[in-house]
Each structure stands twice: as C-alpha cells, then as structure tokens.
Structure 1
Amino acid sequence: MLLVVGIAGAILCVVAAGIIGVLLHSRAGLVAQLGDARARIAQLESDLDAALRPPPPTNSAERAVRRVIRTASKVRSHGIAGLIQSTVEDLQSWASDDERADILNMAASDGTVTLFFSDIEDSTPLNDRLGDATWVRVLAAHDRVLRTQIERYRGQVVKTAGDGFMVAFRDAEAACRAALGIQRDLPREVTLRRYGPILVRIGIHTGQVVARDGDYFGRNVAMAARVANLAHGGEILASDAVREALDDDAALTLVERDAVELKGLAGEHVVWEIHPPA
C-alpha cells in the first residue's frame, strides 16, 4: 500500500512539474508574442505617419496654405492663439515657419495682448544687506505672491530674471487687477514682513507684439518695460493704451501723470497710476 502511495505521489510530482514547465513556456511565448505585436503596431504607426505626411511644399503658395492649415490646427487645439505681429504688413507671418515658435494663448480676438513687467525696487542693496540665504527665501515668498495673482487672473509668465517678471494677460483689466492684488498681498506675506519692506514696481502696456519661441519682441515690449522703469516701489503705472483698453465699468481708479519721454521711443507718452476703486 505504501509503495502504491509513493508511486502515485511521484507521478503527481512529475505531472505537476510538467504542467509548470508548460505554463512557463507558454508565458514566455506570450511575452514574446506581445513584444512582436508591439513592434508591428509601432511599425504600422510609423508607416501610417509617413503615408499621411504631406510632401514638402514646392512654392510660396503651397507654403502659405500649409501655414494656414497649421495655424487652424493650433487654434482648434488651443483656442484663439498667437501674438500677432506689431504691424499689419507682418500679419502673414503670424504662423511662423519655425516649428519651435510657441504661439501663446494670450491674445485677444483682435490680436492684442497686455504685458506686465515687475521687479523689486533696490533689489541689489537688499540682497547685500540680507545675505544670499535670506535673499533666496525672500525671492521665494515674492514669487509665490506674484504667481498666485497671475494664476488667479489667468496670466502667463513669459520669463523671469532674478526678481523680475514679464507676464502676458489676455486683457488689460486682468493685468491691472493682478497688479493690485500683488501690491495688496506683498505686505501681508510673513517672510516679506519679517525682512521688508519689499517694494515692487509694476508697469503695464497693451499692444500688438511679435511672438517667437515662447517670447515676445517688438516696440510694445519695450514700451511696457519703459513704463515699469518709471514706477517706484509699491506703484502700478500703465500706458495710455491700457486706459483706452479698459471698459468703462472696470471700477478702477486711474490718476493721470504728466506726459514723459521714454528712452528709445519717439514722442511724449501719457502714463497713469492704477489704484483700487475709490
């Protein structure tokens, strides 16, 4: 009897080992088949992409059509986009041939954008007085305040440099309200109260600009930067173009300053102080 049990047990072990071997072999086969299937799918996708990719344009008319199609595709994906060129003559270059050009989603329907420049007044002496370690904490607190208001009013940070911000807004009122929120919240921030006062100057201008590689260029960028340079810490200054772009019901207080000359820009320019509603 014991002999029979032992033989049966041996047979079961052999059968179990065989089943495990078959399963392992099957699993390895399935993994290999899955890998082959993925490779075939990738090849099919590559072939389909190659088949659908149009040949290079051979003349200026075809290039123009391609620009229109590419721009329409971006508008479908991202909404009304782009920062149109600073002159009507440049309008045909809105969708640049450079595939790296980032047509940002900040333009109004007429192609204008509001630019906001800010920096900390006397930042170099502050850095020297506080030391680098503390200055880094101050900058982090400053950045949090700015980014919170920028995000709240749906602005887009174009670039930063140290304590300086360049931001695009879809409309002038959003830029002004973000600026007012920043000036209100900076003195409330715990770190900035401890090491402050940290005074920020802000300049705002509305106009058409050139968009390239996710950055902005042109006369109106220079105008916004020059307006910011006129401001003192705690002030918000705006160009006359901002005042014109604001709706009558914007409920903001604007105080006119004397006309000034701006470096590199011809003529005299009116600037306005932006204050909360009275």
Structure 2
Amino acid sequence: MAIVLGVVCVVLVVVIVGFARDRGRLQRQLGDAQLRVAQLESDLDAALRPLPPTNSADRAVRRVIRAATRVREHGITGLIQSTVEDLQSWASDAERADILNMAASDGTVTLFFSDIENSTPLNDRLGDTTWVKVLAAHDRVLRVQIEKYRGQVVKTAGDGFMVAFRDAEAACRAALGIQRDLVRDVTLRRHGPIRVRIGVHTGQVVARDGDYFGRNVAMAARVADLAEGGEILASNAVVDALDDDAAVVLEELEPVELKGLAGEHTIWRVLPPE
C-alpha cells in the first residue's frame, strides 16, 4: 500500500508540475495575443483617422467644407458671423499679419465679398461629387485674380469669399477679371452657368487677430447681397476712392436702403472699360 501511495504522489507531482508549466506557457501566449490585438487596433485607428492638415491651405479646405451649410442658409452675410477661432483654425500667423497690413494706418481698407448665386439648387442638381469640382474651379479662378491684384483672402465659407485690398481700383479690377475668367473656365462652362455675385466697399474697419469687424464690413456684405449673378456692385465710397483715370466704368443705380444700415445708399454697377 505504501508503495502504491508513493507512486500516486509521484504521478500527482508530475501532473501538477506539468500543469503549472502549461499554465505559464498559456498565460504568456495570451499576453502576446493581447499585445498583438492592441497593436492591430492602434494601427487600424491610425489608418482610419483623418490626417491632420499640414498647411494653411488644407485647413482652409476643411473649414470651407464645414462652413458650406452656414453660407447656404445665411447668404453672403454669414461670412461676417464667423468667429475669430474659425479663422485661426486655418490662417497662419504670417497670413494674419498680411491681412492686418492690408488696412491703411487709419483702418481704411477695400473689402470684396462674393458668392455663387443659387448655390444650393445648383449643388442639388449637380450632386456633391461634381459640386466639389465646381467649387475647386471657382476658387482657383478667384484666387488667381486676387493674387494678381495683391488682395488677401480674409476668410471663406462654402462658396463665399471675403477679401481685402489696399485700394479700390485693385478690388474692382480683380472683380472684373474674376467675372471674365469664370465664363472662360472649362469646368465651369461644362457644369454652368456658374454666376457669381460681387460687392465692393471701402471704409474704416476694426482689425483684430487677422479679421475685420465693424459697420463697414456689414456694409460690404450688404452691397454683395444686392448683386445678381455675374454682377459687380460698389458703394459710393468705392467710387470716391477711385482715381479719375481708373480702368473701370461705373453706372450709377437708384439709391437703396440696406438692411440694418440707416438711410439710403447710392450703389454703382462696375463694368469693364469699353
């Protein structure tokens, strides 16, 4: 009996030792598997996460996409309701400095507002994929002329632009160049007509953190609201700021009231020189 018990004890010891060894091996394998799963999850998360914008242009594009609904719902005046934080999400320090430097020492600057007429039904008709291509072509046309006449894009929202110029003639000539090139662009002709409204106003503004504020910003937006697609309208202040030999033709329109701004205002249609 003692011998049998001894054998049983030896067998139990062997089994226990083997079990402990197998248990340790299984725990190590389980730990390795958990590490691999965690790594796979991390890799998958990194692959699915959108890449951070690498420059101001990328940030601007993302800001445009997020703001498209706002400008469609509120029109061109929706641009002036953007917050400083919105602007800082895409504008670099250098760009904000350039924007502030557009104004004269007394705060006078010429502002240009634009947007695409009836953009919501146009987007609906074309579909989102084509609409993105149209927006890209539209933006390209605007930025070429803005850069040519040394303007500075203050901010964009959807298909709307707010641009600052040092002088009134540069703003008017950029607007004329934009209207001319819009009808020539191959992409826009294919999906058009793409008709852009433009309003220009000159006045003193309050500059802060790369943005402009004040009554004259609202005035510029209201002038743009009056325009029809393909039309450029300017305030009386723009006409007063133009030299006599400016390369534009001006057609005076009937005085109008502007929402939120007291009195009647003389508005001019800007035309190319004959």
Work out which of the residue numbers 200, 205, 208 in structure 2 matches 1:209.
205
Question: CA–CA distance in 2 between the matches of 1:244 and 1:199?
Answer: 28
Residue 143 of structure 1 and its aligned partner are, at CA, apart by: 0.1
| Aligned match of 2:174 | 178
What is the letter of the counterpart of residue 125 of structure 1? Answer: P
Question: CA–CA distance in 1 between the matches of 2:226 and 2:107?
Answer: 27
Question: CA–CA distance in 2 between the matches of 1:198 and 1:187?
Answer: 8
Question: CA–CA distance in 2 between the matches of 1:107 and 1:266?
Answer: 25
- 1:135-154 CA distance string (max 9 Å, x none): 00000000000000000000
Work out which of the residue numbers 254, 264, 267 in structure 1 matches 2:263.
267
Residue 110 of structure 1 and its aligned partner are, at CA, apart by: 4.5
Question: CA–CA distance in 2 between the matches of 1:166 and 1:115?
Answer: 7
What is the letter of the counterpart of residue 105 of structure 1? Answer: N
Question: CA–CA distance in 2 between the matches of 1:125 and 1:268?
Answer: 32
- 1:31-50 CA distance string (max 9 Å, x none): xxxxxxxxxxxxxxxxxxxx
| Aligned match of 2:130 | 134
Tell me if structure 1 keeps the 8 A contact 2:202–2:241.
yes
Tell me if structure 2 keeps the 8 A contact 1:201–1:233.
yes
Question: CA–CA distance in 2 between the matches of 1:215 and 1:110?
Answer: 16
Residue 164 of structure 1 and its aligned partner are, at CA, apart by: 0.1
**Which consecutive segments of 4 or more residues in structure 1 shift more than 4 A?**
99-103
Question: CA–CA distance in 1 between the matches of 2:146 and 2:241?
Answer: 19
User: What's the % identity of the aligned pairs?
Assistant: 83
Tell me if structure 2 keeps the 8 A contact 1:108–1:171.
no
Tell me if structure 2 keeps the 8 A contact 1:199–1:234.
yes
Question: CA–CA distance in 2 between the matches of 1:251 and 1:121?
Answer: 26
Question: CA–CA distance in 2 between the matches of 1:192 and 1:171?
Answer: 29
| Aligned match of 1:25 | none
For the pair 1:115 / 2:111, whether they are aligned, the reply is yes
List aligned pairs for 1:155-194, cutoff 5 A.
155-194=151-190
- The SS at the match of 2:254 is coil
Question: CA–CA distance in 1 between the matches of 2:150 and 2:104?
Answer: 13
- 1:2-23 CA distance string (max 9 Å, x none): xxxxxxxxxxxxxxxxxxxxxx
Work out which of the residue numbers 196, 200, 216 in structure 2 matches 1:200.
196
The RMSD of aligned alpha carbons is 1.6
Work out which of the residue numbers 141, 147, 153 in structure 2 matches 1:151.
147
- The SS at the match of 2:100 is coil
Question: CA–CA distance in 1 between the matches of 2:248 and 2:165?
Answer: 17
Question: CA–CA distance in 2 between the matches of 1:240 and 1:139?
Answer: 31
- 1:195-222 CA distance string (max 9 Å, x none): 0000000000000001111111100000
- 1:106-158 CA distance string (max 9 Å, x none): 02354310000000000000000000000000000000000000000000000
Tell me if structure 2 keeps the 8 A contact 1:149–1:182.
yes
Corresponding residue pairs, total: 180
The TM-score, its normalising length taken from structure 2, stands at 0.64
What is the letter of the counterpart of residue 273 of structure 1? Answer: R
Tell me if structure 1 keeps the 8 A contact 2:100–2:208.
no
| Aligned match of 2:228 | 232
Work out which of the residue numbers 245, 249, 254 in structure 1 matches 2:250.
254
Tell me if structure 1 keeps the 8 A contact 2:142–2:178.
yes
What is the letter of the counterpart of residue 171 of structure 1? Answer: D
List aligned pairs for 1:52-91, cutoff 5 A.
none
Higher relative contact order (CA 8 A, sep 6+): 2
- 1:187-246 CA distance string (max 9 Å, x none): 110100000000000000000001111111100000000000000000000000000000
Residue 173 of structure 1 and its aligned partner are, at CA, apart by: 0.2
- 1:23-75 CA distance string (max 9 Å, x none): xxxxxxxxxxxxxxxxxxxxxxxxxxxxxxxxxxxxxxxxxxxxxxxxxxxxx
Tell me if structure 1 keeps the 8 A contact 2:168–2:238.
yes
